[in-house]
Amino acid sequence: MSLPSSPNRQPNKQVVTGPPPQRLSFVTVPLMIGLVYNAISLLTIPFSGTTINDLLADYGKASGQPIPPLSPEMIQTTLWLAFFLTALLILWLYFTRRAVLEGKSAGRVSSIVIAVLSLLFFPFGTVLGVIMLIGIFDEQVTAYLSR
């Protein structure tokens, strides 16, 4: 007599078990590097207030058009916006790395988006993005992340 199958188990879907593929580190290590880099960046945001007006003044000199300095309220708004965007980026990197380590397909999609966006940040982000794309499109990693 056979036992009835579990209602949570799908009969046609293979369950991948075993150790993660070797090239999975091509995805997880760049995600961790991005996570640490952005965490350090988040810690430096409060000290960037005077730098914003200095950069605007330098841009005004280079372009030949005077740019008025930002008011303290505008600088504060800019810093808070940068803080929240960086915090969201850190959370996105963290949850993507966690999904990749757990073998979820959402982690693969999110990793592809992060890798393509990081290609824009020359030279460091470009290298990390290429390494991530190599790892993401590896056959074993793709099979591992399609669970």
pLDDT of residue 12: 47
Count of domains in the chain? 1
Cα distances (Å, whole numbers) of residue 29 to 12, 34, 43, 47, 100: 33, 9, 21, 28, 11
For range 120-125, the mean pLDDT: 90
* Phi/psi-derived region of residue 69, left when phi > 0, alpha when psi is between -120 and 50, beta in every other case: beta
Query: Does residue 99 form part of some domain?
Result: yes
Other Cβ atoms less than 10 A from the Cβ of 85: the count is 13
Query: Does residue 12 form part of some domain?
Result: no
Structure tokens of 79? 């810093």
pLDDT of residue 142: 94
Query: Does residue 121 form part of some domain?
Result: yes
pLDDT of residue 80: 94
For range 52-56, the mean pLDDT: 89
Query: Does residue 117 form part of some domain?
Result: yes
Average pLDDT, whole number, for the chain?
A: 88
Query: Does residue 16 form part of some domain?
Result: no
Rounded CA separation 69/57 (Å): 7
Q: End-to-end CA distance of the chain, in Å?
A: 31
For range 95-112, the mean pLDDT: 95
For range 54-59, the mean pLDDT: 90
For range 100-119, the mean pLDDT: 95
Query: Does residue 9 form part of some domain?
Result: no
Model confidence pLDDT, tens digit, residues 3-51: 555 555 554 445 556 688 999 999 999 999 999 999 999 999 988 888 8
pLDDT of residue 15: 52
Question: 145: which residues sit within 8 A by CB, 6+ positions away?
Answer: 100, 103, 104, 105, 107, 108, 136
Query: Which among 130, 145, 134, 105 has a CA at the least distance from the CA of 23?
Result: 134
Model confidence pLDDT, tens digit, residues 64-79: 898 888 899 999 999 9
Range of the domain at 30: 23-144
Query: Does residue 110 form part of some domain?
Result: yes
Query: Does residue 1 form part of some domain?
Result: no
Amino acid occupying residue 116: V
